[in-house]
Amino acid sequence: MRKIKKAASIAAAILMSVSAASCGSTSSSEDGKAADANSVALQTTASGRDLHESQQEVIDDIASDSKPDDRKLENTNIKWFSFWDINPTSSDDKDIGVDLALFKSKYNGTIEYVSTTYEKKFDDLAAAVLANESPDFCGADDMDMFPKGAIKEMIEPIDDYIDFDSELWKDVKTAADQFVYHGKHYVGISRVDPAYIWVYNKTVLEELGIEDPVEMFDEGNWNWETMFNMCKDFADPENDKYALDAWYYENALTESTGVPLIGMKDGNIVNNINDPKIAKVQEMMYDLQKNNVVYPKHEHEWNVRGGKDKWGTGLASGLTLFYPIGFWAIEDALSVTAPFGDISKGEVMFAPVPCDKDSDAQYVPSRVHGFCIVKNAKNPEGVAAWLDCTRYAEADPKAKEVTITQLKEDYGWTDEMIEMRDRIYQMAAEHPVFEFAQGVSTDISGVTDNIIKATMHPSDPKSWTQVVQENEKKLDYLINEAQEKVAAQ
């Protein structure tokens, strides 16, 4: 999901080892009891809506194009371990992905869903591996599977199955090299992804006479300050109007500085809590919260507007101004994206995460889109074939065109949306920002999450000065502990 930032490149080998410190807490649940492997459910899911005939013809042409390194699979079924189904089962009008369509066409491949929860995924995976009931593969998108999984031997190297110097994989080798532990690659990266975008309802903004953020961006006027003023002017708590909703705005704004809270420098883990750029954005975030611009989740059982997992509610009705979230939320069926507005009528639009007006670049909070082979997987060759298909979906121009056609014809995307999507992906390739906390340790990621969100805590916001005073030494201690463990390896 991204092409790597200089700081990340320098840090690659160390980071992979660094997270060794985190692994101790991933193998058991909070009460110390191992997860029951039998609690992991195996499900065979439906295939979702088929591609249009013309789209399927393109996929079949790509699949039939024989190559010297094509794989010969004895077993074409692979087991996917996650808290979400990789098959398109969220709604009847959800399209099959190009990668999955290629896997089906080229290998007659099928994917079975082994379900877990976000909270228990490490416990459940460890239990399955110990019980010799390993699924075949899991995702790396949340930036927390590696290197924890490698350290705790829940995932295994993929170098025996993927040649990162090959024509298919060479464009993502730089990214893949960030996920090396003891000289081995552990993540098959399909692409670098922008982690967040700033979604809004264009029609609502026009009706309210509010300037379009994309036009502001084109004019060089989309930044923290202008976004802050728009939020403050829009918010009207007495009438249930709040400028921001969702769970991601704190991370998005913090990373838009170009500086992760936990970074790497000269091969060492760095605590950036005293960086003035982070201080500047966090002070603005504190003012945002104090101006009541954020939907009060604490008054609604800690849910976003509309309830648990009801993404986008409030945009179409004009009660919410901006919805910071990932592309995944609007790259979906119209029945799912309806709360954002009617995409097919051009109501929904998005801009990149705003940066400081004095920033030297448009920094894009980023992550990777990739997969790992589970330890003792029964069908690693099948996973490798799937990984090849995920790369073809990104690298083959005809395959990418099918994805664009799906977005336009099935999900209602406009040319303006497609163009901005391409621009944000390009900016992510040029200036990605990766937060490394998840890859170091569970203890560190827990502390950093609280730090990043403290100034915008809906019921108890704290000034950035107070946040630093309360957490700097604690974070330094955890980082030093992790660094020592890396050095000892």
Q: What is the pLDDT of residues 84-104, one digit of tens each?
A: 999 986 555 667 888 999 999
| Distances, alpha carbon 252 to alpha carbons 61, 67, 72, 367, 441, in Å | 40, 41, 43, 12, 21
Confidence tier at 31 by pLDDT (50, 70, 90): very low
Percent of the chain with pLDDT over 70: 86
Which position has the higher pLDDT, 327 or 183? 327
Minimum mean pLDDT range among 28-32, 109-113, 119-123, 474-478: 28-32
Closest among 97, 79, 80 to 88, alpha carbons compared: 97
pLDDT digits (tens, 9 = 90+) for 62-82: 888 867 677 889 999 999 999
Over residues 253-293, the pLDDT tens digits come to 999 999 999 875 655 678 999 999 999 999 999 999 999 99
Q: What is the pLDDT of residue 308?
A: 87
Judged against a pLDDT cut of 70, whether residue 313 lies above it is answered with yes
| DSSP helix, strand, coil percent of the chain (3-state; round to 5) | 45, 15, 40
Q: What is the DSSP string of 273-337?
A: TT-HHHHHHHHHHHHHHHTT-B--GGGTTT--TTSTT-TTTTTTTTSEEEEEE-GGGTSS-HHHH
pLDDT given at position 255: 96
CATH 3.40.190.10 fits 197-364, yes or no: yes
* pLDDT at 193 > cutoff 60: yes
Give the separation between CA 319 and CA 241, rounded to whole angstroms: 5
Average confidence score pLDDT of the chain = 85
pLDDT of residue 319: 97
Q: Using alpha carbons only, what angle is made at residue 122 by residues 121 and 128, rounded to the nearest 5 degrees?
A: 90
Burial of 323 per CB tally in 10 Å (0-12, 13-18, 19+): buried
DSSP code of residue 114: E
List the alpha helices (DSSP H) in 19-151. 53-64, 98-107, 121-130, 148-151
Please compute Rg for the chain using Cα positions: 22
6-193+367-432 CATH? 3.40.190.10
> What is the model's pLDDT at position 28?
30
What pTM was computed for the model?
A: 0.74
The kind and range of the H/E element at 265 are strand 262-265
Would strands 268-271 and 262-265 be described as parallel, antiparallel, or unpaired?
Answer: antiparallel
User: Residue 11 is inside which H or E element, if any?
Assistant: helix 6-18
Q: Tell me, rounded to whole angstroms, the distance of Cα 464 from its chain centroid.
A: 26
48 band by pLDDT with thresholds 50, 70 and 90: low
**Among the listed residues 230, 282, 234, the one whose alpha carbon sits nearest the alpha carbon of residue 255:** 282
Distances (CA, A) of 277 to 39, 253, 261: 45, 11, 10
Among 433, 374, 442, which residue's Cα sits nearest to residue 30?
Answer: 442
Q: What's the mean pLDDT in 148-153?
A: 81
Chain region(s) in the chain for CATH 3.40.190.10: 6-193+367-432, 197-364
Give the number of other Cβ atoms within 10 Å of residue 270's Cβ: 18
Instruction: For CA atoms 450, 456, 457, 461, give the dihedral sign.
Output: positive
Q: How confident is the model at residue 435 (pLDDT cuts 50, 70, 90)?
A: confident
Q: Supply the DSSP string of 435-476, one letter for each residue.
A: --HHHHBHHHHHHHHHHHHHTT-SSS---HHHHHHHHHHHHH
1, with CB counted inside 10 A (0-12, 13-18, 19+), is: buried
